[in-house]
Structure 1
């Protein structure tokens, strides 16, 4: 093998191996995630809470006829 091929292949292999080792190490340290249903329950609104009133979203372009108070 020529020096150029070795110069390109060895760092690529080292980077790949390092990435795999880092991925395995970080995966082991990560806490176990809860189930999908538990996440949905945590994000769901409380049954006792009332819906908030929403504005109509209608905006007039011609405000000259409307008097501001």
Structure 2
């Protein structure tokens, strides 16, 4: 597993992948199910899997002032 920190405005070069995006503040059953679905889909398509999350709630990150 790799951890990649991306600053606002950066666009990293990544291989083709299957990803989920969300605020994974705790990996409860719902999050586990979703992450496992992403892993399974990536394996079926011979791709990498990724979880994209935020260090702050998405409303704080994406909301315009």
Bigger radius of gyration, 1 or 2? 1
TM-score (norm: length of structure 2): 0.29
TM-score (norm: length of structure 1): 0.28
Q: Which has the higher strand share?
A: 2
Q: Which has the higher helix share?
A: 1
Higher relative contact order (Cα pairs below 8 Å, separated by 6+ residues): 2
